[in-house]
Amino acid sequence: MLLRRSSLLALAVSHRRPISLALLAFIFGCARPAHAQERAYLVTYDHYLEEPGNLEIALADTTGLPRNGHAAYSAPWLELEYGLTGWWTTELYVEGVTTRGDGNAFTGWRWENRFRPFRGEHRLNPVLYVEYENTSEASRIQKEVVGSGAVPFDPIDDLRREHTHELEGKLIVSSVVGVWNLSENLIFEKNLSEGEGVEFGYSAGVSRPLGTLASGTSCHACTENLIVGAEAYGGLGSTGAFAASEQRHYLAPVFGWHLTARTTFKASVAFGITSASDRYLLRLGFSYELPHGGRP
């Protein structure tokens, strides 16, 4: 579910990538209107999986504006999502970082799997999530926030040499109430490289389309193609310490635009509400779905 295409190396060396993503989304918006099943959130997961046999390619970027005079940074990533079955979706992430005046680096990769144990729609729709992460301490995409402590701002060249292997699990619960989606994620993360405890985090989102009835005409800005909402996410300490004063927490309005039946553009501006959080996180994403067998 998130974002896609092409060379991450080109992506990782340009802090202007958010502008490029927006332009790319506008160019692809020249096709027909969309109703692809794509979540509006950029951090929170809902219960929808990729359709079996479909491959989604996505590009995303997290631009951080830190506190205390630290330099701004841009953390782009490429995501490939494939629907293996109706109950199992798998994803591969490749990520990088570039900073103002401190260079750039390749920061690693992640392999994610989501499993939906029950078919059909229910009042509560659970999904189980497991991810393996092979990243460096320079990683700043903040696809989730766990534990406590601010993002490290040591020199990128030093951080990229410190590699970590982590196993992450999530319990995802999602509900549909009328035109609203309500989703909650509880996160558990274990660093396999160090003798640390288990870190905890959360995210929660609410969203809805602006319109509920199809207009009957081919348009790109029809209200049923626009999704708005909000999400909150942050860390909840670890088994070692709760450390409430050092946790990062964010609130973010979210916006999704189904440009075509296969393409989606998303954006959010997250506001850091604790001293350990970055002041703002600007997230942009663009995704394109390749249907099974190349069908339109």
pLDDT tens digits along 55-114: 999 999 999 999 999 999 999 999 999 999 999 999 999 999 999 888 899 999 999 999
Q: Which pLDDT value is given to residue 163?
A: 92
Q: Is the pLDDT of residue 12 over 50?
A: no
Q: Which pLDDT value is given to residue 258?
A: 92
Q: Which pLDDT value is given to residue 24?
A: 40
pTM: 0.84
Any idea where the domains of the chain sit in the sequence? 8-294
Q: Is the pLDDT of residue 248 over 50?
A: yes
Q: Is the pLDDT of residue 35 over 70?
A: no
Percentage, residues of the chain above pLDDT 90: 76
Summarize pLDDT for 102-151 with one digit per residue, the tens: 889 999 999 999 999 999 999 999 999 999 999 999 999 999 999 999 99
**Class of domain 8-294 as given by CATH:** mainly beta
One-letter amino acid of 262: R
Q: Which pLDDT value is given to residue 196?
A: 81
Higher pLDDT, 263 or 294: 263
Percentage, residues of the chain above pLDDT 70: 84
Q: How confident is the model at residue 219 (pLDDT cuts 50, 70, 90)?
A: confident
Higher pLDDT, 254 or 221: 254
pLDDT (average), residues 235-264: 95
pLDDT (average), residues 34-50: 80
Summarize pLDDT for 160-181 with one digit per residue, the tens: 999 999 999 999 999 999 999 9
